[in-house]
Amino acid sequence: MDTSTAVPAAPRIRALGGAQGNIVQVQPSLRFVVVDFTLNAPPSPGQILKVYREGKMVGQVKAGRIARDATIAADIVEGDLQPGDEVRPE
């Protein structure tokens, strides 16, 4: 009689490599956005980041300094960006 029990494999946890955040505010007339990186390390100042909406790239921003906690201001390089858009490295 086999008394051994199989132990199920632990679920895989995928790391979110690099900086990844969400746009929380857009200032189109001033050409900048505010991006929240609460769950990830913020990008380096000057780093170019791509912006995605529903999985499609919609623009690019250039990271500025950390404004407060894990929130940064970023210059809009291109695109019509909206709050909720996802920001991540190239």
pLDDT, tens digit, 9 for 90 and up, residues 18-35: 569 999 999 999 999 999
In a domain, 8, yes or no: no
In a domain, 14, yes or no: no
pLDDT of residue 1: 56
Cβ proximity of 37 and 21 under 8 Å? yes
Q: Residue 64 sits in a domain of what CATH number? A: 2.40.10.170
Number of domains making up the chain: 1
The tokens for 81 are 């960006």
Q: What is the mean pLDDT of residues 52-63?
A: 97
In a domain, 29, yes or no: yes
In a domain, 64, yes or no: yes
In a domain, 5, yes or no: no
In a domain, 4, yes or no: no
Instruction: Check whether 15 has a pLDDT greater than 50.
Output: no
Domain membership of residue 37 as a residue range: 21-89
**Average pLDDT value over all residues in the chain:** 85
pLDDT of residue 14: 40
In a domain, 55, yes or no: yes
